[in-house]
């Protein structure tokens, strides 16, 4: 029975991450249609102080958060971060808190072994908090952003 409960909790966390992915994707699409510059490599977080490399030229972060809330009303009920690559969300992690090791991910979903880490070619899964996943993803996004600027 305990295994079922754990699988159910992971499934719920993955559903939350999936909903956030769709909300951010729709929000960025709308902002692109409104001629905001959404392109680049950056991280958007539920806690704005952890946002990384978010565009500053013709980009409205507050408007993005408002749009995300419109598409996913529960976005303020959990902690999360989204990796955006050239204007498209490519990875979402969400949890009840930054320290909980029950984390949902999308598009590669978490299992009872742990969440999926951010990487194009990795299927690494181990118990990890949202903070650990963020700390793993941020340098990778930084590297992509620097490569993009040097291209």
pLDDT at residue 60, as a whole number: 95
Domain range enclosing 111: 2-150
- Residue spans of the chain under pLDDT 70: 1-2, 120-123, 149-151
Q: Dump pLDDT digits (tens) for 9-50.
A: 889 999 999 999 999 999 999 999 999 999 999 999 999 999
End-to-end CA distance of the chain: 53
- Pick the closest to residue 39 from 29, 51, 50 (CA basis): 29
Task: Give the whole-angstrom CA distance, residue 138 versus residue 19.
Answer: 22
- The domain total for the chain is 1
Model's pTM, two decimal places? 0.91
């Amino acid at each position: 029975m305990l295994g079922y409960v754990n699988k159910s909790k992971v499934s719920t966390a993955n559903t939350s991450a999936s909903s956030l992915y769709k909300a951010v994707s729709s929000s960025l699409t709308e902002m692109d249609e409104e001629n905001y510059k959404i392109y680049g490599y950056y991280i958007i977080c539920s806690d704005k102080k952890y946002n990384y490399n978010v565009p500053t030229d013709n980009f409205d972060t507050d408007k993005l958060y408002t749009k995300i809330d419109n598409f996913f009303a529960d976005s303020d009920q959990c902690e999360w971060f989204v990796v955006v690559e050239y204007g498209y969300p490519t990875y979402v992690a969400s949890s009840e808190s930054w320290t909980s090791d029950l984390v949902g991910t999308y598009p590669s979903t978490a299992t009872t072994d742990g969440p999926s880490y951010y990487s194009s070619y990795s299927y690494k899964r181990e118990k990890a908090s949202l903070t650990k996943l963020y700390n793993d993803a941020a340098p990778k996004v930084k590297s992509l952003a620097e490569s993009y600027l040097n291209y």
